[in-house]
Structure 1
Amino acid sequence: MDSTTKHPALASVMRRIRTRNQWTLKQMSEKCGIPVSTLSKVEHDRLTLSYDKLQQVSERLNIRMSDLFVESENREVPQVTGRRSIGKVEDAVQVTTDNYDYHYLCTDLRHKRMIPIVTRIRARSAAEFGELVKHHGEEFIYVIEGAIEVHTEFYDPVVLEEGQSIYLDSAMGHAYVAAKNCDEAVVLGVCSSADEGLLDSLMSLRGASM
């Protein structure tokens, strides 16, 4: 999860939106409020957009934020039983918030019941994190690097070290922060829900949960 991270889906989707509407970069800039120079860098895969900018593009162009990460325009759900997707961190879609750096994996698959995310946790305390978050479904968190402190609505905080994990009900208020004496931590999170809008729900939580 370094500066070489690539975001091919966002670059091609932004370019497709512009060409489909026959907009110039300047017209696209006026529509979504993103500077021309920034749009050009995004389309050429030299820059990604922060959470705030992704939300701005979504709202101004009246499209779902999750659709910015899907290259295919085909919205039909394939009636097959052998779907698969290879998830690579260098190809993940990155979204940066106040508390976390999210890396969404396997974004080429639509209508997933599970959302896999590698997350770098930067918040250092519950006070810094802010209000606990909650959303539909359940989630599993596995600590890859460092240590985290898990705050939940109904339980005392618990510290998880590398190799440890937690499974919880996402409707319960929760927050993950770097544990004491740990500047940052990296975790793998898998969120699951029968709600097909789970990805959009997760992205709508500013700085929040898995």
Structure 2
Amino acid sequence: MQYWVKYGYQARHFSHGSPKWTPSWRSCLSLPQHDLKARALALHRHKQRQTPPQQMNTMEHADMTPHQETPIALKHRERKAGAIGDNLKALRKEKGLTIAAVASASGISAASVSRIENGRISPTFEAIVNLAKGLKVDVSELFYHTEDTSFRGWLALTRAQEGDVIETPNYRYRPLCNNVASKEYMVLETTVLNRSLEEFGGLQKHSGQEQIIVTSGEVTVWTELYDPILLRVGDSLAFDSTLGHAITYNGDTPATMTWVCSAYA
């Protein structure tokens, strides 16, 4: 009998009664023979999983090219990556909820929820957070299907120019290493789309914490308690997301930022 071990996204198996480890999936690193913890983990998971784990699309080995996709990567593409409306509908159906139930739990009108699902309107980040709260999922679930990585040793990789772009009324996002359910934060490569507070549509607030680092151009951060703050390339600002806030760009070219925010609604 063989037992599969999911150990830091490296797969191993060993024969019953034998402590000898042998490679079983791609170019995985060897585990020490005396690793009793890994052996115990294998025994514990034997009854639940007797097939080798498959790797997520952004959790690649270093020798995988950007054009290679694992079966699970292809499965994820069935839920259209980056399409928040499609992800919202899929999550709602998975939980057996009606549009009215999601609307009531998230504080967003049923008509708006329906329009978001059908791609007729694009939700603001504030609305995305409220929808995640109503669905009782991580905010990241609405950006991309995520996998549970509650065990130790996981890693996630997004290569340059990879990943799906998501556009909302105020920002254009490219989530980085986003399909990891146990992460407590999200990192978004962000383009600021509005030049004025009027274009932005007013201050927004939601649960969580945020930090931004300007990578090109200049931005102005507007808040309900402080004077507007000008940030240039290399400047960083962190704030409580429950503080009403908005970010606009200065000049003729939209600015870009690295945006770190809470993954939980």
TM bucket, shorter chain: 0.5 to 0.7
Which residue among 144, 156, 162 is the counterpart of 1:69?
144
Q: How many residues align?
A: 153
TM-score when scaled to structure 1?
Answer: 0.61
Q: Secondary structure at the match of 2:165?
A: strand
Separation in 2, partners of 1:124, 1:150: 11
User: What pairs with 1:48-127 in structure 2 (closer than 5 Å)?
Assistant: 50-51=83-84, 53-54=85-86, 57-58=89-90, 61-62=93-94, 66=141, 69-70=144-145, 72=147, 75=148, 77-80=149-152, 82-127=153-198
Which residue among 12, 21, 34 is the counterpart of 2:75?
12
Q: Is the 8 A contact 2:82 2:144 kept in 1?
A: no
Q: Structure 1 residue 174 and structure 2 residue 245: aligned? A: yes
Separation in 2, partners of 1:54, 1:89: 25
Report which structure shows greater RCO (CA 8 Å, sep ≥6): 1
Q: Is the 8 A contact 2:191 2:256 kept in 1?
A: yes
Following TM superposition, by how much is the alpha carbon of 1:108 offset from its aligned partner in structure 2, in angstroms?
A: 2.8
Following TM superposition, by how much is the alpha carbon of 1:60 offset from its aligned partner in structure 2, in angstroms?
A: 6.2
Separation in 2, partners of 1:79, 1:10: 20
Separation in 2, partners of 1:154, 1:146: 25
Q: Is the 8 A contact 1:93 1:105 kept in 2?
A: no
Q: Structure 1 residue 139 and structure 2 residue 181: aligned? A: no
What is the one-letter code of the residue matched to 1:136? S
TM-score when scaled to structure 2?
Answer: 0.50
Following TM superposition, by how much is the alpha carbon of 1:85 offset from its aligned partner in structure 2, in angstroms?
A: 1.9
Separation in 2, partners of 1:10, 1:124: 37
| Identical pairs, percent | 27
Separation in 1, partners of 2:142, 2:168: 19
Which residue number corresponds to residue 158 of structure 1? 229
Following TM superposition, by how much is the alpha carbon of 1:190 offset from its aligned partner in structure 2, in angstroms?
A: 0.8
Separation in 2, partners of 1:89, 1:116: 14
Separation in 2, partners of 1:150, 1:144: 15
Q: Secondary structure at the match of 1:159?
A: strand
Following TM superposition, by how much is the alpha carbon of 1:175 offset from its aligned partner in structure 2, in angstroms?
A: 0.8
Q: Which runs of 4+ in 1 moved over 3 A?
A: 8-12, 48-51, 53-65
Structure 2 unaligned segments of length 5 or more: list them.
1-66, 96-136
Q: Deviations over 1:112-131 (max 9, x none)?
A: 11111110111110011012
Q: Report the RMSD for the aligned CA atoms in angstroms.
A: 2.9
1:68–1:114: structure 2 CA closer, same or farther, 3 Å change rule?
closer
